[in-house]
Structure 1
């Protein structure tokens, strides 16, 4: 089966969409599928990383003038070109597609209709914005998402919703049972700070400044990539506070890294389900409009606490103290939300539909 993923990363989009697509791509490749990623060239695009992960990448041309999003919901700017132009560019390299997987807030039903009218492929839309789709399957891994929330325009379209379909690397499902059995010394916590691969507002440094005010420091690992615009300032802060801080620009094995920690502070993106799978209660700091629903749902399940970025200086440490006090219950709640087997469930559904 020839599978094409249409997904982008950039300094505005971040890396989460590509990372969850790579998890599904790994599962499909293991079953013998020929997998190709189609990605628009732009700053922070992860094309080279995707190649290093063992996948062919068809690179769509970077526009002569890059568009800067006007807000965190300016998804048209994420695509950089019109939907029609992007669909035509995609079809120029993917005419032989048996399956197309889209994970892009800038791609809507118009793009899907153009592609489906030109090829005989099945089409999967990975989404969490509850939009109309002309696709054969929709995957929305948002906690508490209901199938009925989606309006589908394709007869027989299937909606896979909720964290049971969270697209995580296989290592998370393997370590979930380890996390369940893990005994934790509640007097010796280790904190993982991950504000996303880009972190444009430099929330990482704001959190570190607040944590530095604690009477007793918590050993903390900071994950922030070289693509982040504030990489240097964070790296410098970590170097100056190396007695309690460790900075990692990139981690290939996030599951093992998370298992080494007990609590987390981060943005409520796709990595929320990774943290839940391995039982890390979190303080969530939304950095984009599309993260608010995830944040609210996790707080409602008592799996996380939340702060706005503006509340960090005054409220982070009181929230963290409360999280530590409620740690055991919150850890249990996280572990019950996600078992890391989402990719295998998606593949099994595809088998049932006779797609391969």
Structure 2
């Protein structure tokens, strides 16, 4: 349940400034589950150990963020008149299992921006924000960017939250247009560096159309991370479509990707596909099924330009979600991945989500049962 300004007066630091706002709300999600994972590496791959894996073991644990990342945030908006509004969002991610801040320990690591919105022109925002590609593909994810078992990093990139970003969003009837520019993202590199304007920059744009049961979006994203030897180029372009028919919705998409090293050698070139659907069995019970496949065309992890061969990973995911109320639900989420850990985590493709296959294994099963509360 969203709280009024006076409900957060105890925060003190915000109380005086918030009086000038037309509205300030507190919101959030808390999500935790009991999880089982098969064939998990007992060693965490890293750059330091050469992405080495260890013996495969079964894992039982309490995890945070099954269907949604646990978070809390502040959202404010002021009506300035003549169709102009000011707004801000400050959103913090945390692990419900241990109470620690996520996103590298940032206070507001999920989002932190301020902006102006005109009814005639659109919205301009400045700060840490989602990329155009991430936002435009959100409605075409069968599992709604489910935190635990969706190959999100592979699909939209490590930079899907970008620092130092200026962003435009315009809505024209059924059409939405988005464009962004990051002056320096510290996800991989150092962010804004004097004398190195291009290093760690990023940009992208896209357009979406949604009317009635049909929706379609297309977007492009480029991130130029600072790597050993200079600045790389990580490029992605994607298209997503969806169609609703009564209680059912089907969707799918395609994402082209090409990551290059500073010497122009390919690090990774791939074609990524996804398809899935959801069905509302009753007003309380919803079911979701999704399939993901990555066609790896070129993979180069060696300084001499040698190509590494891996088998193309694929994954099936299933979610059953039951609403106990408008704010609380319980769920079962599960995934089976072949030629990778779930989320397509391998030392070659993505090592952002931590589901690494044990040595000699080529498949993984993950199952979680949890509860989520929105406020």
- Please give the range of the TM-score, normalised by the shorter of the 2 chains: under 0.3
Higher Rg: 2
More strand per residue: 2
TM-score, normalised via structure 2 length: 0.26
TM-score, normalised via structure 1 length: 0.27
